[in-house]
Each structure stands twice: as structure tokens, then as C-alpha cells.
Chain A
Amino acid sequence: MEIIRSLYSTVYCQAHSQANGLLLAGNNEGKILVYNIECLLEREEGGGVSGERPEGPSVAVNASLHPVYSMVSSPAFAITGSSGSLAGWRWSDLKELDEAVSPAWTIALQGDQSNFGTPEINGLSYNAESNLIWAACGDWKARGYDMETGRLISTLDAHKDYVHQVAVSGSSGVVSCGEDGAVLVWDCRAPRVPVMTIVPSQQTSLARPNLGKFVRCVDTAGGEWLVCGGGPSAGVFHLRSGGLVATLPPSDALTPVTVAQFTRQDQASSIVTAGCDGGGVSVCSLSGQVTAQLPAVARCVYSVAASFDKHTLMSVAGTGSRIDICLNLSYRDHSLSTVLD
């Protein structure tokens, strides 16, 4: 029975904290898998890991009855989004590697539940400058909460289907994408209407009508660039003008894009994209040149997390029971199990 469960398990989201030596992964069973990755951060001369690599999670924390769909890290907290609520987990608590750890705070979504059931939180984004946390919700809205008080600061309501992901840009810029196929650029100081609307499915070089028009993922970097993908192919847009700059892999007609994000928020140096059907992960430049093609154990990649605090660390997760670990942006090093021994 356990084997079958692990066959059909999925990791939706990940978060790194190199300062605390932790890697978190949220899965479809509502668990946060906590990995101790201290040893991956002690590198040898050539960039390899000297010590023993971790095999599996140190502990699996029961976070929710519903799948843990999204996760983002702030310096003090790991914030997870599940159905109907946000939870903040103190890194220092998680570092204890105790199964019974409880969240430092939770925020319940105040939404109209009658039409949608409990809305889920599909994406999270943290703005360090304004200390706001943005949640992409299943009830067609994106919400901004103040991390200090936990109060709802603003609601972005212009999508016509559920919101897949939000990304922040600068102190007040917010970008959201949704199942309705639109990428909306907001200025949260004026949250009533989006500043700009980009519809990738209307770009002929991106559109893939057979896959639909949904936009699964969006990310920004350097306050200037935006990358998004989903049913339409992944593409790089200029944030202010809304113009398409480059088309990114996976370029075949059958693979929906599940991940398209900048590796760093501060500079648009490289972009990671991944698809839904076994193509692995591509690392590209801003112009769409593929610099590395990494294989992934997960047939369908749902989450790529990268961090550069001490050393480069990238992890790739999705369906199945393994998480791939890369020590640079060029090679896969090894993979971790998601099954707790």
C-alpha cells in the first residue's frame, strides 16, 4: 500500500534555507518533508560535496489535511499554502527536526466558499521590501497579507478563473497568472485594476490551442523581465512594454509548461523551465538559448527551487517519490527519496 502511495505521490512546492541548512518539500498528502542539507552546503574545491549525501527526509510534518500546494521562504519563516489557509513555520522550529512542530501562525482565507468549495492557494510570493506575502488563490483572486500583522492588505480581483501563481517585482509591483490565460501586472498601490494584461495564448509564437490557454507559472526578475508559461509555450516578456522577447523550451506541441522562473530574483541571468511530460529541466539564457538540459526523475516537474546564499543549490521535484538535487545549474548530482523510512 505504501509503495502504491509513493508511486502516485507528488511534490508541489519546495523552499530552501541555506542559513538553516534545510530543504522543505510540500506534497499531495498535506505533509512538509524536511531535509537536512547541511552537508550539501560544505563544498570541496571543485564544487562537489565531500560528505555523505542525505537519502531521505529527516522528518515529515503533517501540515494540512489537503495537499500543500505552495511554499515560499522569508528570512524567518517558511510559508506554506494549502486549501483555505496560509501557515508560517519558523525556521528555527523546523530545524529541531521534530514531527510535532506546529506553525508559528496561520491565516485563514476569507473567501466566498459557496461556489468553489474551500479555495486553494496555488502560489505564494514574498516581497521583502514591503514585507507582504502574496497568495494566488483558487477563488480567482490574489491576496496580499502583511507579514507583521497577518492582515489582508489588498485583494487583486480581475482573473476570470483561478489564479495559478503570483510574483513580485520591486516594492509594489505584482504579477499574477491564471487558468483564464491572462498574465496581469499590478501596482499594489492601486489594486483595483491591473496595470497591464498580457495574454500569451494570443501571441502566435507561443499559442498551443490544443493544450489550452492557461498560464501555469509566472516570474519576474530585475524589475524589468517577466517569464511565463503554461498551455502556451514559455516566453520572456519585457515587463514595462509587455513585448515578447524570447520563446523558451519545452517547445514541442504536447508538453504543457509547469515551471518557468528566473533562477535569481535580482538579476535576469538565467531562466529555468520544465514541462509536464518527462522532458526534464532546461536552463536558458534570457534570449532563449538553452545552456543546460538536466534530466529529472519526476516525469512531471512541478517545482524547481534554487538558492545561492552560500553555494548554488537547485532542487527539482514533481510526481513520483524522488527529488533531484543539483549543486550547480549544469548537472544533476543525486536524488532524494520522499518516503520517510
Chain B
Amino acid sequence: MASEDSKKLAGEVDSDEVEVISVTKKSNTVEEANEGPAKDLVKSQIDLYKDALAYEEAEVAQRKADADQQHFLQTNGAIRSIMQEILKLKLKQPEKCSEAVEEQRVKAMMLILNMRKLSRTQKVRVRLAREEALDARQSVDGVTLQLQGLLYEVLHLQKEAQRCLLAHTADKDVDLLPVEQFYEEAPPSISRPDVTRSDPHQQRLARLHWELEQRRGQTSLGEQLSSELHSVQVNISELNTKLAAIRPCINDVLQSTIPLQEALGLPLTAMRKQQEAAQLLPMPLYTLWMQCSAYSEAGDPLVCSMIRGDTDAAAKLQQQQHEEQHKTSAAAAAAEATEAAPGDADSDNDPEDSNDVSSHKSRDRSERSGRGKTHVPSSNSSSSNAAAVDPMQQMLELHPLHVEVTVSTPDGSSVVIQFHYAMQLRLVTTRTFVLAKTLPPVPGAVVYTDVLTGPDFLDELFPGDGGVVSPNPATIHQLRRLQPHSAFLHHPALIPPQLGRAYKWAQQLAGLAFPALQQEETRALKDGLVTVAEEIAHEGGTEVSSERVHVTLSALRRRLKARLVLQQHLLSLQSANSTSCIPVPSGSVSALFPGKVSCELVSWRPVSWQDYNALSATAALRDAGLAVATSFFFRALYQRRHVEMSAYVCVSADYPNTVPLFALDLKWGDQPCPHAHVQQLEAEVNVHWSDLLVGGTDKAHILPLMLYRLAMCLDVYTEAVSSRLNPSDAAGPLPDDSMHFHKEKIFFRSARGPDRAFPLKYLPKLRVFAQR
């Protein structure tokens, strides 16, 4: 466009040039005619001016600027030379020069005119150049504007393209069937394989279409099903109301069958009640009850476990705990409860909040029992009472329900163990009763020592399990908090006696595991269990079973049997006034002892631990830690004329597995016997007791055997001492006959070895006594 314009311009210039040439001719004529008549001077003046302008413009176009430059310089030079000429002239002949100067001045004037002409031409040229520059700038501006418009357009288009590229439709979020499956399942009307196979877009559209169809179908199906559900629910609620109406009827029927059940000996109702009560048990007792009943059902009908106690109180307590839990953790717990409710059986194994297992469990239970049983309306009376009672009392509070396990022996005696749960202390405690059936009543006898009814009946059932120190490491802190100034500070946490005993085996039966304070303790417990298991297996002739319930219950039964035998022995001993009263099994007497025993067991009395502790004779056993306070202590007094022997017997709680220990105090008249002699007699029973268990004698008879043996040892001792002092015994009666004992037992040597040992060992085959 610009070029066209310039061409046009050039064209105009050309036409102008033509005009200018003509004008130039005219102006030449005009200049020539200027000297002519001036009639049409004004008219021609205007024309002339215009013509001159046109002519000069034409001239400008014709002439070259460089040539003009050259021309100007020449003119300038010429003027300068004329000026010099004039100056020369003036200097040479100042008077005569005027003509020459005039001539020169004319020349100069002409040259100046020429210069003016050039100047005009120059001005025209400058104007033209400016006009041209302006035109050019205007065209450049137009082009720039156009360019910017185009650029903006490009940018916009690019943006649009980008948006198109990035655009994504909702169909991508829809899960579609895989292509193969789509072709298999969709009807051809939708799938249109002929079209869609080749065109992915059409294919996708078709698949989306099919998806839509399917979803519609499913929505309608869902609606249909929910309406069905509703109708079923209505049906169920109808049935429920009917069932509720039947319930009182059934209750009446059940009530009326109770006499019949009793008459027939069917424990159906009782069992059901037990099952109901089991729902209210705290978790440890529930575990214990389950284990024991499972064990009795599995093959030991002599074990019986019952739940006893106040079920109403237990239900109240549970309700209360339930509410408390809801109060404390309102929203979160509620959410959890609704989650847990459908699968409450699983939540038993829930590893979370193991600290608070019991309350967790009870919540489950309450929901479970809520279906089968109507709840007693909750009252806050018990909680307000609890706030009022002594904190110690509260700490020691037991759960209202307890489990009663009865372990019987085949001959009808049984031990009843009540397992209680101390809710605050988180311990299972036991109370024990023995129901002995075979004990023959001793007429008129006062029972001095009752090894059956004491609270310590089950002490040391397993080694080191006294039941007095709490197995829960937390107990000591709980008790200290309540009684900061009490003796708990320096002693292990003792279980208050009103709770009963907290044996470790009971905790284990109840599934309560406490971290043992020391590694060795756990190992010792385990070893103890294994040893007891082996012993029981050995006694019962069965295989070794390490199963805890079996071992524990067998140990209980073993303890019961042992204690029954012991009690019988003690009963006959307490009324004993001669050695023949010692209840030695008849088979052992002939095998172990010679026929006659001369010294007499004069009395048998229990001794308190304090008294036992005060005796110098027992110091060695006490210092060695062999005689401990939990044992039973007795004093057996033997006499043979003026020789008197007091045997202080320590019968361990674990008797007969731990054999009794004897400490002797021997007096010959008024004189105490030498310690070396007493030691020999003591060693005979304390160390060599196993000699007494020949031919499979039950270890339960060890106490009377030991007592009888001691009597025999005293016989031999007295006779040996006499024969030492008077070796010529055989010669005849001596003057101090009252102080002397005839040699009735047969022994060859009254002393042997550096320690002058007495012949205390009996050799039944030879029927003689000899040294070891």
C-alpha cells in the first residue's frame, strides 16, 4: 500500500515535472518579458509567484541535492574571490576602483541571488523530506497497530486451543465396563459394533450409554429391595409383639416345671440361671468360670463350678458402670458403641484399651444381656453410697458375684474355693472351705490344730505362692496412696486379710497376667508348675500334662487329700499318750522297725510360731530359712524314764511334698545331751527320711513314720549311751539301775568313727542297728 502510494506520488511528481518544465519555459519568458510593458503586471505577478513556486518545485525535483551543494560551494568560493578582488582593488587604487568594484559587486550580487535561489530550493527540499518522513511514519504506525492486533488474535487463539486441549469431561470419572465385557453384555443396539469397533469416540459413547442403562436398572432394583425390607421389618415387629405376648406364658410354664425338674433331678433351670449370671461376671471371673466348667465337662465330674452372689446388685453395678462410661466419653464412646454393637462378640478380642478391659467387657455384656433379660431400672443410690464410704473400704470392694469351685475327692470330701474379684485392686482373691466327709469324729476330743479350715489351706500350693503378697505390682501404690504413713512403705503389698488370699495360680486361672517383678520369679513359677505337674502325673500314673487348669485343680485335690490325711494323723496324735498311738501304716511297721519300742510319746501339742521362734534348739533351722512362719508347729514329747526328748516339728504348708523338719531338745535327767548327739538324731529324720518310704508307702504318712522312727532312735541312743559308759552290761544288774538302760536293741558297736556315731540305722533284714 505504501509502495502504491509512493508510486502514485511519483506519478504526480512526474506530471508535475511536466508542468514544471512548461512553467520554467514560461518563467523564462516571463523574466525576459519583465523588462517589457507592465500592463498585466499584477495579474502576472500572482501567476508569476505561483509559477515561480511551481518552477522551483520542479527544479528541486530535477536537480540533485549533491550537485546543488557543489554549486553552493562554488558560488560561495566565487563570492569570496570577488570579495578578495574588491579588497585588492580597494587597497591598490582606492580612488579608481569604484567602477571595477561596482562591476565586481554586481557579479557578487548575482552570485548571492544564485545563493538565495539555492537556499529556497533547499527549503523546499527540507519541507518535502519532512512530508515524506511524516507519511512514512504514519504508514509505519498503521503497520504496527495491525501487527499488535494480529498478535493479540494469535494469543487468544492459542488460549482457546489450550483450553480445548485441557478440557476433560465427566465421563472419565465414570467406571466403565472393560471393552470385551461391554461387547459381550451390551445389546447390539447399544454397542453397534460395526461403528464403534473402529471409532474409539463412538465406542466410548456407546459404553457410557450402556453404563447409564445399567445404573438406571440398579436404582430401580434398589428401590424395590428397600420397599421389601420395610415390609419385612413391619412383619418382624409384628412377630416380636406376638413373642412378647407369649413370654409371660412361657415363664409361667417354666415356673411350674421347677418342681418336676427337682423331682427328676434335672438341673436345667439352675444351668440357665448360671448362664445368665455368667453374663454379669467381671472378665477375670468369667474366664475362670469358663475354664473350670469346661474342665469339669471335659472329663472331671468331681470338679464343679458355680456362680454365686447377688445378681441384682451385679446388674445394678454393671448398669452403673455402663452409664459412667457413657458420661465420661459421651460422643466418641457412643459412636464406638454403635460400631461395636453389631459385632460385639469380636470386640472381646479388641486389643485397644486393654487397661480397661473389665468395663469394656461389661458394656458388651450389658448389651448382650439386654436382649434376653429385662434390666432392673438403674438407681444412683449405690453410687451415692460409694461416695460416702471410707476410701479404703472402696478400694477393697469385691464384685457382688463370685465363682465357687468345688473340687472333690472320689471318697466325697471336697474343698470349696470362692473366687472373688477385687474391682479396684484388680485381683482375684480366694476363700477356702473344706467339706470333709470321711473324718471320723473323735468323741470328746477338742481339735487342737485344724489344718483344714484355716485361711492358709492353700498356701504354698505351688512353691513360693503364699497368697499374702499381692501379685499385682500396682497394689502397693494403690495402698500407699490411701495410707501414706502405714507399714506399706517398707513391706511388700500385703493383701488385707478380709479379702482372703490372692494366689498367683488364681490370677493365672483367671487370665490376669501381671509383669513379674523379677525374671527369676517367673522362671521359678514355671519350674514349680512343671515339677508339680510331674509329681501329679507320677502319683496318678497319667501322662505329664502342663495344662494349667488340670495341674492346678489336681494340685488342689492333692492338697485336700494330703490335708485330710494330716488332719486324721493330728487328731490321733493329739490324744496320743504312748508310742503305739502313732498312726503308722501297719505295713511299714514290720518293714522299718523292730518289734518293741520302749520310749513313749507322752504328748503332742501345737506350738505357736512365737514360741518356736524363741527356742534355741530351732535356731539352726530358722537361720537356714527352712522353718517359716506359714508352717504348723508342734511339740512332741518323748520320755524314757529320766531321759526326755522334745521334738519341735515344723510341718510345712506344702506337707507332705516338703517333709516335716525336726528340732530336738534332749535331756538326760537334768543334763542337756551333747550337741553332737542331738545332731545325729536330728539328721536321722531330717536328712535320711527317704529310708522310711520303702515299698511304695504313701508320702502322706511320712509324719507318723518320722515320729515313730524318732522314738526308736531315742531307744537306741539311750541304750548306746548306757553301754558306752558301762560296757560290761551283760555281766548283770548294776547298782545304779535306775539310771541305766538295758540293751534291748541289737547293735554291735555303740560308737563308730571319729564322731563316735550311734548305731541309729536299722537294717531290717538283719534286724540289727548299725551306723551309717
A residues at B contact (CB < 8 Å): 3-5, 7-8, 10, 12-13, 67, 69-70, 115-117, 120, 122-123, 138, 161-162, 164, 179, 209-210, 212, 214, 216, 254, 256, 258, 276-278, 299-300, 302, 319
Chain A nearest Cβ from B527, distance in angstroms: 15
In the bound complex, how far is the Cα of B676 from the Cα of A300, in angstroms?
7
In the bound complex, how far is the Cα of B757 from the Cα of A310, in angstroms?
37
Contacts of A5 in B (CB 8 A): 687
- The chain B residue sitting closest to A66, CB to CB, is B772
- The chain A residue sitting closest to B661, CB to CB, is A4
Contacts of A276 in B (CB 8 A): 674-676
Contacts of A256 in B (CB 8 A): 674
Q: Contacts A3-B625, A7-B624 hold; do A299 and B754 have CB atoms under 8 A apart?
A: no
In the bound complex, how far is the Cα of B674 from the Cα of A276, in angstroms?
8
In the bound complex, how far is the Cα of B756 from the Cα of A258, in angstroms?
10
In the bound complex, how far is the Cα of B675 from the Cα of A278, in angstroms?
9
Report the stretch among B235-243, B332-340, B482-490, B678-686 that lies at the interface.
B678-686
B residues at A contact (CB < 8 Å): 620-621, 624-626, 661, 671, 674-676, 679, 682-683, 686-687, 724-725, 727, 748-749, 751-756, 770, 772
Contact B626 A12 (CB under 8 A): no
Contacts of B724 in A (CB 8 A): 212, 214
Known: A120-B753, A300-B676. 15 other contacts (CB 8 A): A4-B626, A8-B679, A122-B753, A164-B754, A210-B725, A212-B724, A214-B756, A216-B756, A276-B674, A277-B674, A278-B675, A299-B675, A299-B676, A300-B755, A319-B679
Contact A122 B754 (CB under 8 A): yes
Chain A nearest Cβ from B31, distance in angstroms: 152
Q: Contacts A8-B687, A254-B674 hold; do A3 and B752 have CB atoms under 8 A apart?
A: no
Q: Contacts A8-B679, A277-B675 hold; do A3 and B754 have CB atoms under 8 A apart?
A: no
In the bound complex, how far is the Cα of B772 from the Cα of A3, in angstroms?
20
Q: Contacts A12-B754, A117-B770, A300-B675 hold; do A3 and B682 have CB atoms under 8 A apart?
A: no
Chain B nearest Cβ from A122, distance in angstroms: 5
Residue of B625, B727, B752 most packed against chain A (CB within 10 A): B752
In the bound complex, how far is the Cα of B621 from the Cα of A161, in angstroms?
36
**16 A-B residue pairs with CB within 8 Å:** A3-B624, A4-B624, A4-B686, A7-B621, A8-B682, A13-B754, A116-B748, A138-B749, A216-B754, A254-B674, A258-B754, A276-B674, A276-B676, A277-B675, A299-B676, A302-B754
Q: Contacts A3-B626, A5-B687, A12-B755 hold; do A116 and B682 have CB atoms under 8 A apart?
A: no
Contacts of A3 in B (CB 8 A): 624-626
Contact A162 B751 (CB under 8 A): yes
In the bound complex, how far is the Cα of B676 from the Cα of A120, in angstroms?
20
- The chain A residue sitting closest to B727, CB to CB, is A161
In the bound complex, how far is the Cα of B727 from the Cα of A299, in angstroms?
28
In the bound complex, how far is the Cα of B227 from the Cα of A81, in angstroms?
106
Contacts of A319 in B (CB 8 A): 676, 679
Contact B675 A162 (CB under 8 A): no
Contact A8 B752 (CB under 8 A): no
Instruction: Give the residue of A69, A116, A278 whose beta carbon is less than 8 angstroms from that of B754.
Output: A69
Contacts of A209 in B (CB 8 A): 725
Instruction: Give the residue of B621, B679, B751 whose beta carbon is less than 8 angstroms from that of A179.
Output: B751
In the bound complex, how far is the Cα of B83 from the Cα of A306, in angstroms?
163
In the bound complex, how far is the Cα of B751 from the Cα of A81, in angstroms?
17
Contact A116 B749 (CB under 8 A): yes
In the bound complex, how far is the Cα of B671 from the Cα of A256, in angstroms?
15
Contact B755 A302 (CB under 8 A): yes
Contact A138 B676 (CB under 8 A): no
Contact A10 B687 (CB under 8 A): no
Q: Nearest 8 CB-CB pairs, A to B?
A: A8-B683, A300-B676, A12-B754, A8-B687, A276-B676, A3-B624, A277-B675, A212-B724
Contact A214 B751 (CB under 8 A): yes
Chain A nearest Cβ from B528, distance in angstroms: 15
Chain A nearest Cβ from B463, distance in angstroms: 13
Contact B753 A7 (CB under 8 A): no
Contacts of B621 in A (CB 8 A): 7
Contacts of B676 in A (CB 8 A): 276-277, 299-300, 319
In the bound complex, how far is the Cα of B625 from the Cα of A186, in angstroms?
51
Residue of A8, A123, A138, A258 most packed against chain B (CB within 10 A): A8
In the bound complex, how far is the Cα of B724 from the Cα of A7, in angstroms?
27
Contact B620 A7 (CB under 8 A): yes
- The chain B residue sitting closest to A179, CB to CB, is B751
In the bound complex, how far is the Cα of B754 from the Cα of A162, in angstroms?
10
Contacts of B748 in A (CB 8 A): 115-117
Contacts of A138 in B (CB 8 A): 749, 752-753
Chain A nearest Cβ from B772, distance in angstroms: 8
Contacts of B624 in A (CB 8 A): 3-4, 7
Chain A nearest Cβ from B679, distance in angstroms: 6
In the bound complex, how far is the Cα of B751 from the Cα of A162, in angstroms?
9
In the bound complex, how far is the Cα of B675 from the Cα of A69, in angstroms?
20
Chain B nearest Cβ from A140, distance in angstroms: 10
In the bound complex, how far is the Cα of B620 from the Cα of A277, in angstroms?
15
Chain A nearest Cβ from B76, distance in angstroms: 134
In the bound complex, how far is the Cα of B624 from the Cα of A214, in angstroms?
34
Residue of B661, B683, B756 most packed against chain A (CB within 10 A): B756
Chain A nearest Cβ from B160, distance in angstroms: 96
In the bound complex, how far is the Cα of B659 from the Cα of A4, in angstroms?
11
In the bound complex, how far is the Cα of B624 from the Cα of A3, in angstroms?
7
In the bound complex, how far is the Cα of B770 from the Cα of A276, in angstroms?
22
Contacts of A115 in B (CB 8 A): 748
Contacts of B661 in A (CB 8 A): 4
Residue of B686, B687, B748 most packed against chain A (CB within 10 A): B687
In the bound complex, how far is the Cα of B753 from the Cα of A117, in angstroms?
13
Residue of B671, B674, B754, B756 most packed against chain A (CB within 10 A): B754
In the bound complex, how far is the Cα of B768 from the Cα of A115, in angstroms?
12
Contact A67 B626 (CB under 8 A): no
Contacts of A116 in B (CB 8 A): 748-749
- The chain A residue sitting closest to B686, CB to CB, is A4
Chain B nearest Cβ from A304, distance in angstroms: 12
- The chain A residue sitting closest to B683, CB to CB, is A8
Contacts of A299 in B (CB 8 A): 675-676
In the bound complex, how far is the Cα of B684 from the Cα of A8, in angstroms?
10
In the bound complex, how far is the Cα of B748 from the Cα of A256, in angstroms?
23
In the bound complex, how far is the Cα of B754 from the Cα of A256, in angstroms?
12
- The chain B residue sitting closest to A10, CB to CB, is B755
Chain A nearest Cβ from B665, distance in angstroms: 15
- The chain B residue sitting closest to A121, CB to CB, is B753
Residue of A70, A209, A300 most packed against chain B (CB within 10 A): A300
Chain B nearest Cβ from A159, distance in angstroms: 13
Contacts of A122 in B (CB 8 A): 753-754
Contacts of A120 in B (CB 8 A): 752-753
In the bound complex, how far is the Cα of B739 from the Cα of A209, in angstroms?
14
